[in-house]
Amino acid sequence: MDGGRAGQLIGGRYRLHSTLGEGGMGRVWRARDEVLYCEVAVKEVVLPPGLPVAEQQERVVRAQREARNAARLRDHPNIITIHDIVTDGDAPWIVMELLKVRDLAQLIAEQGPLPLPRVAEIAAALLEALGAAHAAGITHRDVKPANVLITDTGRVVLTDFGIAVQVADTALTATGAFIGSIEYIAPERARGEPAGPAGDLFSLGATLYCALEGRPPFGRGNPAEVLTAVLFNEPAPPVRSGSLGPLVLGLLAKDPLQRLTVEQAAARLAVRQRPGAVAEPTVPGTVRATRVAPVPSAPAQAPAQAPAQAPAPAARAAAVPGQAAPRSVPPGPAPAAVVARASARPVLGSSPPLSPSPSPSGRLASNAIGVAVAGALLGTVFGLGGLDLLAVGFAVVATVAAALMTAGVRRGDVRAGRRPVLPALMATTALGTSWMVDAKHFAYGLPLAVAEVLVTLLIAALARPPRPGAAVPGPPRPATRAGRGGRHR
């Protein structure tokens, strides 16, 4: 794991002892500063021998950017402190403070959903860290549980500014590469729009949701489904979030203009931690605030003359023969604390606060757009990587799955046959996009895509459940009238 580097002196100053962790982009070492005689953490940027030169240069630039961005925020207690950056063996090494930590992803995996007060502390610390980064013109772009460190003393530290961007930085992209973690990425970034502070707040909302519920808000079986959920679906209603539910859902708003800012989220978090605050129902798609009225120092005096009021419900009930009137409550001073809510539970006969559910055709159209986008992304990856056989294999698997679901519809098995046309549509889009990206090496992609279109149309025609009574033999039934003014059936 250490590659035989243990004991090596880096930059003429930092001696490597043992590895602390390793990822796809680098390796973190425990090291000793031979000048100051103290222990530090040193991040090694791994450059595999077979890596293209362009990607090697990108990793070097990314490491330098991480050190530069984090060094601008080194005085913040909730951001990892960078001490130095040295070059050894044509690769940069980042020297950081050494902390005894576990990341938030490890805590969730070991303990499950975290207690509400602890998540509130983590939320407050991360909001302060992101507020400081955004004020300095830095967007993190990869906020997720694995990049949130929790020390033994309870300190919360945001780390890994490797893909962060600063306003003055030039663009850093990779052809065909997807920057960030797909389960925590904001919808606007998934659509290819520029990264901004609002994207970090969406990722923060997804991180807090995972800490509260024990799972990501858009976790699915494969990357295509995850991306579709991020773009088009609302997160599952949180059940363990309590008073933090509206805050989390406010951060997970699809529209960045409707998303909570750092200041709004911090203010809402402070209100919900105030004694006497009551949690609102965490309904997805709605954000409700809780306001706590100040406690009056003395009871309010009664007005000189009370206005005339309608008869009390108790008096009206007593007028009904055989029904006892309920005992009236004597007047008295108002309660010491009054909790006001922006909205209440709808009563019988009133309109619900939520918009009506979309029609089945609207949901099908939304899912079709989602799988088409996902298929185009997969086709782009297949085409850029020259993975034409993988594209064909994916299309075959998707077509077989669609055919099996279609058979389930024909048998009347509704659970097995929901939206069978979607896998075939994704396969069609993937094949067509692969051919458009690399028609030279994927010349047979176009006829395969055309054939897949025909298969998709056939599945769409067959995937209709048989009407009740359609297959029953016998003479046709006579037309009957449903009633006066009815129609023939």
Q: Which residues are catalytic?
A: 142
- φ and ψ of 151, to 5 deg: -80, 170
Residue labelled with tokens 């707040």: 201
Name residue 228's amino acid: T
Residue pair 260/201 in contact by the 8 Å Cβ criterion: yes
Angle ∠(356,360,365) on CA atoms, nearest 5: 105
Structure tokens at 375: 């298929």
Name every residue whose Cβ is closer than 8 Å to that of residue 413 and which is 6 or more positions away in sequence. Answer: none
User: Considering just the CA atoms, what is the radius of gyration of the chain in Å?
Assistant: 30
Residue pair 189/195 in contact by the 8 Å Cβ criterion: yes
Angle ∠(72,75,77) on CA atoms, nearest 5: 120
CA 22 to chain centre: 25
For every residue of 411-457, DSSP letters joined together read HT-TGGGSSTHHHHHHHHHHHHHHHHH-TTT-TTHHHHHHHHHHHHH
Residue pair 276/292 in contact by the 8 Å Cβ criterion: yes
CA distances from 64 to 44, 72, 297, 343 (A): 12, 13, 58, 50
Name every residue whose Cβ is closer than 8 Å to that of residue 310 and which is 6 or more positions away in sequence. Answer: none
For every residue of 271-302, DSSP letters joined together read HHTSTT--PPP--TT----EEEPPPPSSPPPP
- φ and ψ of 162, to 5 deg: -65, -35
